[in-house]
Amino acid sequence: MKETKYIFVTGGVTSSLGKGIIAASIGKLLQARGFAVTNQKLDPYINVDPGTLNPYEHGECYVTVDGHEADLDLGHYERFLNVETHRENNVTTGRIYQTVINKERRGDYLGKTVQIIPHITDEIKRNIKALGSKGQLDFVITEIGGTVGDIESLPYIESVRQLRWELGKNCLIVHLTYVPYLAAAKELKTKPTQHSVKSLQEQGVQADVLVLRTEHTISQEMRRKVALFCNVEPNAVMQSIDVPTIYRVPLNMQLEKLDEVVLTKMGFELSAVPSANMVNWTAFVEKLENAKEEVKIALVGKYVQLPDAYKSIIESLIHASAYNHRKLKLDLILSDKVDDENVAKKLKNVDGVIVAPGFGQRGMDGKFAALKYARENNIPCLGICMGMQTMSIEFARNVLGYEDANSTEIDEKTVHNVVDIMDEQKNVLNLGGSMRLGAYKCKIKKGTKACRIYGKEHISERHRHRFEFNNEYLDEFEKNGMICSGINLESDLVEIIELESHKWYIGVQFHPEYSSTVVEPHPLFISFIKAAIEDK
């Protein structure tokens, strides 16, 4: 049994400082020293999970292997640490309250008045400690969403205060703040940091380490001043300066000695701990930063105004481009604005096209136009989830000649329902809806492009959808060159389709982007980029 240590990452001054990246960087540096680590995110909103959130508002919904719809920060954790996260790694206020209220209804509280302290805070602490209780982890790094001072995050900060007492040296608080630069005065300003540390202190929590986000180097003198005002040791005040790629952040934090300070404060003898092995990571960052030649990829989707809505796809493309020694030039194309007339202009110079996941009717026609263009012009093209579904419909319409082919998600009365819902799903849907979520097995057919790409016949990939390829049409598809190269044998579901005569035209019902990591980029993305740069 390991004695798990808990690190909390809070944020002050503004949101969007990159707490997730700092939390993941701490995880990475500790992991690189041989520790078993996981990252957790506590989200202060009332939604029970982010599955129902509009991507415009909250960015992508990430999916864990066990089928949990999670905050996109879990994607950063997996990409950085290369270890899977699960349902327990993401908790929302909604879920905490739901559990407490269910317990109350069952009578578990034996007539007591149910209150924020201790009942909500106990449930928060139970969720934090649940990760460590199995005795397999050295560190649990918990990021608290929101900004210190928000009403919503009070119970979380209070839980941290209580845990500090319970855990003693096994608990550490890293507070991330922002140091603005006033151009007119040509000065960096630490006052907002002082205020945010004070606000944390008012809630009974003293930060151990301060990470100052900044656009300009913060001098030693200024760090000493912050230390003095904020009750923190001078060596525990460090900067996180703006960098062109988030993958630089762990390396910069290593230079700032973040891992050393954390370990020393938590009672480790530094000489007894291996140093951080960041060789693979550094090699990746160097490839990424040194790539000169571009690969131009168009991402066609309906949420492109907020690129965070496609976070994992974009990161997967960045990984795969770097491994192919290319710099990614991403063209985000709003599918609503694409049609048969303008598609050639929009896609003329691209090396590859990705047709994105999505729900509902809007933007479908633009996806059809982009797919037809990529198919007819031999442009490498990857369709993901709804992207594969639209690939199937476009093929049925324009190659098989079923003009009215559609998905029953879009038009229930469609005659040629190439994309349909399975009967068992229909029943669940009537009961309020359910999705195929999480990792499912897929058997790849020998001799296909997919088989060459994966280099194996049995894979497992993550899903998030309700509709499926309708097997009634499979024979006809295959006879006309669009073959099914991956199948889920338990339910006889088409998972991968590919166009034999095309350079690289592959549709996947699952989401490969959720499992691409820095040290193990996804083979589909690597192969897609490779095809995109071939003969160039």
355 φ, ψ (degrees, to nearest 5): -105, 120
Active-site residue flag, 513 = yes
Active-site residue flag, 442 = no
Judged by CB under 6 A, the residue of 211, 350, 374, 385 near ligand GLN is 385
Q: Which of 81, 98, 90 lies closest to 51 in space, CA to CA?
A: 90
The identity of residue 64, as a single letter, is T
Residue 240's SS3 state is strand
Hey, what are 121's tokens? 């805070």
CB closer to ligand GLN out of 322 and 386: 386
Element (H, E) at 247: none
Burial of 471 (0-12, 13-18, 19+ CB in 10 A): middle
Which residue reads 């509902």 in tokens? Answer: 360
Each residue 402-441 as x (binds ligand GLN by CB under 6 A) or -, in order, gives -------x--------------------------------
Active-site residue flag, 451 = no
Residue 307's SS3 state is helix
Strand partners, 51: none
CB closer to ligand GLN out of 20 and 358: 358
Element (H, E) at 205: none
Are 61 and 72 in contact by the 8 Å Cβ rule? The answer is yes
Catalytic-labelled residue, pool 385, 394, 442, 484: 385
CB closer to ligand GLN out of 132 and 366: 366
The DSSP call for residue 351 is S
CB closer to ligand GLN out of 128 and 313: 313
Binding residues for ligand GLN restricted to 103-162, rule: CB under 6 A: none
CB closer to ligand GLN out of 58 and 175: 58
Rounded Cα distance, 49 and 46, in Å: 8
Which residue reads 């982009």 in tokens? Answer: 370
> Which residues, 6 or more positions from 96, have their beta carbon under 8 angstroms from its beta carbon?
120, 123, 124, 127, 155
The DSSP call for residue 25 is H
Rounded Cα distance, 506 and 482, in Å: 9
Assess 359 for contact with ligand GLN (CB under 6 A): yes
Q: Which stretch binds ligand GLN (CB under 6 A): 110-118, 194-202, 356-364, 454-462?
A: 356-364
In degrees, rounded to 5, the angle at the alpha carbon of residue 523 between the alpha carbons of residues 519 and 527 is 120
Each residue 447-476 as x (binds ligand GLN by CB under 6 A) or -, in order, gives -----------------xxxx---------
Are 381 and 408 in contact by the 8 Å Cβ rule? The answer is no
Residue 390's SS3 state is helix
Q: Least distance (Å) from ligand GLN to the CB of residue 359? A: 4
Are 153 and 41 in contact by the 8 Å Cβ rule? The answer is no
CB closer to ligand GLN out of 315 and 409: 409
User: How many residues line the site for ligand GLN (CB under 6 A)?
Assistant: 11
CB closer to ligand GLN out of 291 and 334: 334
Assess 59 for contact with ligand GLN (CB under 6 A): no
Are 262 and 139 in contact by the 8 Å Cβ rule? The answer is no
Strand partners, 352: 297
Euclidean distance between the first and the last CA atom of the chain, given in angstroms as a whole number: 55
Q: Least distance (Å) from ligand GLN to the CB of residue 67? A: 13
Judged by CB under 6 A, the residue of 55, 146, 155, 357 near ligand GLN is 357
Q: Least distance (Å) from ligand GLN to the CB of residue 435? A: 7
Q: Which long-range contacts (CB under 8 A, 24 or more apart) does 373-376 make?
A: 373/343, 373/344, 373/347, 374/347, 374/505, 375/499, 375/502, 375/505
CB closer to ligand GLN out of 509 and 527: 509
Q: Least distance (Å) from ligand GLN to the CB of residue 7? A: 33
Are 266 and 170 in contact by the 8 Å Cβ rule? The answer is yes
Burial of 189 (0-12, 13-18, 19+ CB in 10 A): middle
Q: Least distance (Å) from ligand GLN to the CB of residue 256? A: 39
CB closer to ligand GLN out of 152 and 365: 365
Q: Which of 411, 297, 312, 244 lies closest to 55 in space, CA to CA?
A: 312
Catalytic-labelled residue, pool 175, 463, 511, 522: 511
Q: Least distance (Å) from ligand GLN to the CB of residue 516? A: 17
Q: Least distance (Å) from ligand GLN to the CB of residue 388? A: 8
Assess 313 for contact with ligand GLN (CB under 6 A): no
Q: Least distance (Å) from ligand GLN to the CB of residue 477? A: 18
Q: Least distance (Å) from ligand GLN to the CB of residue 413? A: 18
Count of other CB atoms within 10 angstroms of residue 449:
21
Q: Least distance (Å) from ligand GLN to the CB of residue 64? A: 15
Q: Which stretch binds ligand GLN (CB under 6 A): 221-229, 295-303, 354-362, 446-454?
A: 354-362
Judged by CB under 6 A, the residue of 250, 358, 363, 366 near ligand GLN is 358
CB closer to ligand GLN out of 6 and 368: 368
Residues designated as active site: 385, 511, 513
- For ligand GLN, the binding residues (CB under 6 A) are 357-359, 385-386, 389, 409, 464-467
